Structure formats: structure tokens, C-alpha cells
Amino acid sequence: MSRGQAKAARRLRRMHEWLERAYGPQHWWPAETPFEVVLGAYLTQNTSWRAVERSLDNLRRAGALTVEGIRRRSLPELQELIRPSGFSTRKAPALKAFVDMLYNEFEGSLEVLAAMPVEALRQRLLLLPGVGRETADAILLYALGHAIPVADEYLRRVVERHQLLGNTPGKDRKSYEALAALTREAFGRDPVPEHRHLFGEFHALVVAVGKAHCAKHPECAGCPLERDRHLNGSAGVGAGQDEKAK
């Protein structure tokens, strides 16, 4: 690791502390069972959590919040139930494909799935339709209990705007892996048994600051991370930088 990367990792670790102090424990993922986490990870793609909750409520009322419940529903029924979270013609077959994989390869059990070696498991999830890196890693971390960092658009913005990486992170695979590696390095000095908890809280806290301050147009005044910019002279919150954000 270069000195620049080590410094960036230390800054990110400090930013985690400031976010913790500002927002407190996040207790993610908001779900009652690991399978609900899986459902949420698919449904939240390109939509708000409020919309996801409406779909989850529909599934709950229909008795379809379980692996068997999704399996029993026909594709049109499932599409109707998850319509509130959008892209239902894409998300319903994707959920069916996950459940099919679980039944065909893992005895219909998330525990059996979770017992697979983590990197092979990640690659298996990435072969599923509708599963990109963020979804795969969210499932690995929050549903299957693996210490895997999750990178998302909010983290990409923070890292870009605070100029933590030498290259401006884009939205491609390489940038995702660079953001995940930076997160792993940030917590590298923490005890290994705590990594799972720390990665879970960190992702939730980054989402919190992203929603409150670091959206398409950053509102740095009063942001818990403004201090890092003052300490390190990040000049990355300029007009041109915002255009890349969603």
C-alpha cells in the first residue's frame, strides 16, 4: 500500500468516527430475517427505501416474505406484489432466479449458501441476473454474515469530493473494487472479529450522510465530514465534480 493510500484509509477511518458521533448506531439492515435482507437488496435497486417498504408490506400481507413464499408465487403475481419498488418486470424474475438457485444448489437454505467459501459465493451471486457488486456484497454482509465491505454511489461521492483516491472513482467495476479496498484498509487495524459489524455500520452511516448532505449537490455546511475537508484542504466540491453524481 502506498503512503497516499495509507493516509486515505486513515482519513476514512476517522470519518467513520465522526459519522458515528453524529448519527449514532444505525443497526442495519432494516429487516426481520436474512431472507428479507435479500429481498430488500434486490428491491432497493434504483428506488427509495420507502418504495421498498411498500413492496415488502405487500409481500408480508400475501405471506410471501419467505423463500417458499416467493417460490410459490407465479411471476405475474410476484410482479404485482413488488410493483411499488419499480422495475418489477426485471426484479421479479431476478428474485425467482435467486430462489431457484437456492433450491437447486443449496437445499433451499441460506445457511447452506452462507457456508460456501466467500469469494466463490460472491462469484456465484454475480452470475445471477440483476445482481451487481453492490447487491452481491450487501447480501454477503447483511444477509449471510460475511465481513465484506459495501461500496455505493454515496461512498463514491464522498471519496471523490474528499479526493481520497488518486484517480477519480467512476461507476465501473474497477472503481467499485477500489472503493471496497479502501474501506477494507480503513478498518485494517481494527480487530478482525469486529469487521463485519464495522462494515455494516460504515455503509449505513455513509448512506445517512449522503442523504442528509452529500447528494447530487453537496451541502457541506454542518456536514459531519466538513472537518476532513478543512484538515486536508480537499478542493473537490466544485461545480464540475457535481455533474458526475446521480
Q: Residues interacting with ligand SF4, by CB under 6 A? A: 158, 161-162, 209, 213-214, 218-220, 223, 225-226, 229, 237
Smallest distance from the beta carbon of 223 to ligand SF4, in angstroms? 3
Smallest distance from the beta carbon of 244 to ligand SF4, in angstroms? 13
Nearer CB in complex with ligand SF4: 22/51:
22
Q: Which three cell numbers stand for residue 217?
A: 449537490
Torsion of CA 28, 196, 246, 50, to 10 degrees: -10
Nearer CB in complex with ligand SF4: 153/226:
226
* CA dist., res. 205 & res. 20, Å (int): 7
> Of 108, 112, 40, which Cα lies nearest the Cα of 72?
108
Please name the residue ranges forming H helices in 106-150.
110-114, 118-126, 133-138
Nearer CB in complex with ligand SF4: 98/154:
154
Smallest distance from the beta carbon of 219 to ligand SF4, in angstroms? 6
Cis peptide before 29 (omega within 30 of 0): yes
Nearer CB in complex with ligand SF4: 192/239:
239
* Residue 56 CB contacts under 8 Å (≥ 6 apart), including other chains: 36, 39, 40, 43, 65
Return the DSSP state at 141: I
Smallest distance from the beta carbon of 191 to ligand SF4, in angstroms? 27
Smallest distance from the beta carbon of 45 to ligand SF4, in angstroms? 23
Residue 48 DSSP SS3? coil
Nearer CB in complex with ligand SF4: 94/220:
220
